[in-house]
Amino acid sequence: MQPRPLARQHRYITWLSLSLMSFLALMVLIVYESRWVYPEIQAYFSQTGSLTGQQLSTRARVYLQDAQSELLSDQPEQEALEAATMDIDLAYGLADMHIYRREYACAEPSLTELDRLAALLAARDIDRIAAAMALFAPIQCLTHIEMDQLDRRGAAINDFSESTRQHSLVLTYSSLLIFVMGLLFWWLHERQLRRTDRATQETFEWMQRAMRDPLTGIGNRSALHQDVLAKQHQSLGLILVDIDFFKQYNDAYGHPQGDTLLRQLAALIGKTLNDKAQLYRLGGDEFAALLHCPDIDTLKSYCHQLIEGLREADFMHPAHPDKKGVTLSVGGSCFVADEATFPYAYEAADKALYRVKTMGRDGWQVTEDA
């Protein structure tokens, strides 16, 4: 059975909504996974070893080494002391950081030492070599700070890379999972749809079979009733056809041949009525035809055609009491299709058929004003 356009549309909409849901889930995940980026960057540039922290200690150390060079140079005393004092002051200004005092034990004594040296140099109370030697301890401290800040920065970068790798992994596996789940949903949906299609098809076929006469392939009594209801308010003609002396035919030829005759008659009635009628087998040797009937004369002409058509076909009947071939008794009535009118129309056609039977068979009658 071809999938109906509506079912296909529904399938696409469901598939689309699943994709959208997966996409949304992925977006939520990305936003969730990215939440660490900004605090991480902030941490990188503020709390741990930072570029600024390292640069300040480096600059301060360079000033102190400059001061040492100036103290040990051969420039005039006055100039050398002034330049060294200036560099020590600059170094003090850079190294006098709260974070250095808090984090490094050597910071406090070094700053005190620089303070003392600056005062001694200003008072010319220390010789140049002693002052240069005294700068080694603060230089060592600043070098230590500088290296430590570098180490901390390296560690922060490593942490940053590691967490980036982990978050990327989470993101990759989650995307894969969502993709697989999308496929699974799609497969489940398709399977359900196929099952529903199959069940619908089976129900449809079962209903079709329930409405068919298995021997002749034409409709049965239920189909006749259903078709009448489907043609509400239309002018219809109902023709009932009964084989004459069918029992004798069966007795003479046997039931299988009787079955063949039933099939042949079903085909003949259809052909005679030019396929304008819907045919039914009501049971046994009784058929019915339902057709459009604008007036009673049309119905009469159909009935006449049936009798003449059978005569022309000339089916043999070896046991016909009147020594004829197979003959039919036909009764008809016209009615406006409705659930309420149909039983009366059926009764009227049946009465007409009965009249034919009682009048010797092989003929037709209609009941007017059913």
Ligand X SMILES: Nc1nc2c(ncn2[C@@H]2O[C@H](COP(=O)(O)OP(=O)(O)OP(=O)(O)O)[C@@H](O)[C@H]2O)c(=O)[nH]1
Q: What is the SS3 string spanning 133-192?
A: HHCHHHHHHHHHHHHHHHHHHHHHHHHHHHHHHHHHHHHHHHHHHHHHHHHHHHHHHHHH
Query: What is the smallest separation between the CB atom of 245 and ligand X, expressed in angstroms?
Result: 5
Binding part of the chain for ligand X, among 73-81, 123-131, 169-177, 258-266 by CB under 6 A, reads 258-266
Tokens of 120: 């001694």
Q: Which residues share a beta bridge with 286? A: 242, 283
Is residue 365 close enough to count as binding ligand X by CB under 6 A? Answer: no
Query: What is the smallest separation between the CB atom of 361 and ligand X, expressed in angstroms?
Result: 6
Is residue 247 close enough to count as binding ligand X by CB under 6 A? Answer: yes
Please pick, from the candidates 218, 242, 291, 352, the single residue that binds ligand X as defined by CB under 6 A. 242
Is residue 321 close enough to count as binding ligand X by CB under 6 A? Answer: no
> CA-CA distance, 300 to 95, in Å (whole number)?
124
Is residue 246 close enough to count as binding ligand X by CB under 6 A? Answer: yes
> CA-CA distance, 277 to 270, in Å (whole number)?
7
Query: What is the smallest separation between the CB atom of 13 and ligand X, expressed in angstroms?
Result: 51
- Judged by beta carbon, residue 93 or residue 283, the one nearer ligand X is 283
> CA-CA distance, 258 to 249, in Å (whole number)?
7
> CA-CA distance, 27 to 33, in Å (whole number)?
10
Residues counted in the chain: 370
Query: What is the smallest separation between the CB atom of 222 and ligand X, expressed in angstroms?
Result: 17
Sign of the torsion formed by the C-alpha atoms of 247, 248, 252 and 257: negative
CA distances from 352 to 7, 64, 365 (A): 50, 133, 5
Crossing angle for the helix pair 136-210 and 5-34, to the nearest 10 degrees: 170
Sign of the torsion formed by the C-alpha atoms of 187, 188, 190 and 191: positive
Query: What is the smallest separation between the CB atom of 10 and ligand X, expressed in angstroms?
Result: 45
- Judged by beta carbon, residue 294 or residue 318, the one nearer ligand X is 318
Is residue 240 close enough to count as binding ligand X by CB under 6 A? Answer: no
Query: What is the smallest separation between the CB atom of 236 and ligand X, expressed in angstroms?
Result: 25
Number of residues that bind ligand X (CB under 6 A): 15
> CA-CA distance, 108 to 138, in Å (whole number)?
10
Is residue 159 close enough to count as binding ligand X by CB under 6 A? Answer: no
Residues in 176-235 that interact with ligand X by CB under 6 A: 215
Q: What is the largest CA-CA distance in the chain?
A: 161
Q: Which residue is nearest to ligand X (CB)?
A: 258
> CA-CA distance, 367 to 21, in Å (whole number)?
68
- Judged by beta carbon, residue 194 or residue 247, the one nearer ligand X is 247
> Binding string to ligand X for residues 139 to 158, with x set by CB under 6 A, is what?
--------------------
C-alpha 79: how far from its chain's center? 85
CA angle 240, 245, 250 (to 5 degrees): 110
Residues in 105-124 that interact with ligand X by CB under 6 A: none
Please pick, from the candidates 236, 285, 326, 362, the single residue that binds ligand X as defined by CB under 6 A. 285
Query: What is the smallest separation between the CB atom of 242 and ligand X, expressed in angstroms?
Result: 5
Please pick, from the candidates 93, 109, 217, 284, the single residue that binds ligand X as defined by CB under 6 A. 284
Is residue 318 close enough to count as binding ligand X by CB under 6 A? Answer: no
* Contact of 329 with 268, CB cutoff 8 Å: no
Query: What is the smallest separation between the CB atom of 360 and ligand X, expressed in angstroms?
Result: 11
Is residue 245 close enough to count as binding ligand X by CB under 6 A? Answer: yes
Is residue 91 close enough to count as binding ligand X by CB under 6 A? Answer: no
Is residue 258 close enough to count as binding ligand X by CB under 6 A? Answer: yes
For ligand X, the binding residues (CB under 6 A) are 215, 242-247, 250, 255, 258-259, 262, 284-285, 357
